[in-house]
Structure 1
Amino acid sequence: MRPADLPAAFALQCRVYPDAYHEPQEALASRLEAGPAFCWVVEQGGQLTGYVFAHPWSGAPPPLHEPLPACVAEHLFLHDLAVCPNLRGMAAGRQLYACVAGEALRAGLGRIRLVAVGSASAFWQRQGFAELVLAGLHPAYGQAQVMQQDLLG
């Protein structure tokens, strides 16, 4: 992902998520800045049709809608993965996640955490994630589940 992809990523986010999850482009830009090796896009016909934002992090999941503060990395936080509805079922989400997991291992980050919103927990369970009971989840996440995968076994 490049900074020039942010407007298209924001537009896709607005297309696939309810209003409460639409984040300002400044917040998305801070995630790309914090973890450029972990942010990827899918393009089809010159159009951005999927993306993933992930970044090094420590502690409870970061608040939504706000730029990230600096931190010392303890794990990789997968902030958001979205795929255009017409690509669902075509492995785009799995491929984006595979890119993130591979880069996490190369960077020495053997644990990935995320917050699954809506019905996304089933997808993440299929990728090897399990529920993690963790205090301090920002209320903007709504009804959500913190999940974790240990890449090193």
Structure 2
Amino acid sequence: MQESDIPCLLFIQSECYAAEMVEDEATIRARFCAAPAFAWVAEDAAGVCAYFVGYPSELGKVTPLGSVFSVSPAPTSMYFHDLAVARRTAGKGVGSALARFALEAAALRGFRHSSLVSVQGSAVFWRALGYEDWHGLDAAQTGNLATYAQPARYMVKALN
């Protein structure tokens, strides 16, 4: 991903998420600056058609909706914050391919886990990629999870 891709991300985000889930441009830019090595896009003939944004984190830590990433100095988990696909390419496997790419990158970098918050009924998608619900959140992280439109689930996948 390049900083110049951010307008495309904003458009895709507006297509994919309910209004209360849409995050502002300043937050997205700050996240990109915090962890640019963990942000990727997929392109088709019309340009950016999907994006992934993540960062090095710790198992059991949830970034509140609309907050800037806090990159862990001793990460154990690659946190998948956002994966979204443009309507024009929905159902063509682009999201799955981008998620698998990010999982491979996380494993190659030595992360033990990948973690995420599943929203808008996406748990089925994530389960197909090997994620499972994880119920070990402390009270503060449960509060962070509650910032997402419900039902939201914290999910984890062990990496090799």
TM-score, normalised to structure 2, is 0.87
Question: 4+ runs of 1 displaced by more than 6 Å?
Answer: none
Match of 1:69 in 2: 70
SS of the residue corresponding to residue 82 of structure 2 reads strand
SS of the residue corresponding to residue 55 of structure 1 reads strand
Of 116-125 and 88-97, more deviation after overlay is shown by 88-97
Q: Return the alpha-carbon distance in structure 2 between the equivalents of residues 106 and 35 of structure 1.
A: 17
Q: Return the alpha-carbon distance in structure 1 between the equivalents of residues 100 and 25 of structure 2.
A: 25
CA contact (8 A) 1:38 1:99 kept: no
Instruction: Give unmatched runs, 5+ long, in structure 1.
Output: none
Task: Give the letter for the 2:119 counterpart.
Answer: V
TM-score, normalised to structure 1, is 0.91
Report the alpha carbon displacement of residue 94 of structure 1 after superposing the two structures with TM. 1.0
Cα deviations by residue, 1:79-116 (Å, 9 ceiling, x for unpaired): 01001123222110111011111111121112100000
Match of 2:44 in 1: 44
Q: Among 129, 132, 140, which residue is 2:131 paired with? A: 129
Q: Return the alpha-carbon distance in structure 2 between the equivalents of residues 103 and 64 of structure 1.
A: 24
Corresponding pairs, count: 152
Task: Give the letter for the 1:145 counterpart.
Answer: R
Q: Return the alpha-carbon distance in structure 1 between the equivalents of residues 30 and 109 of structure 2.
A: 19
Report the alpha carbon displacement of residue 70 of structure 1 after superposing the two structures with TM. 4.3
Match of 1:140 in 2: 147
* Mapping of residues 100-111 of structure 1, within 5 Å: 100-111=102-113
Closer, same or farther in 2 for the Cα pair 1:125/1:92, shift >3 Å?
A: same
Q: Return the alpha-carbon distance in structure 2 between the equivalents of residues 98 and 30 of structure 1.
A: 25
RMSD (CA atoms): 1.5
Aligned-pair identity in percent equals 27
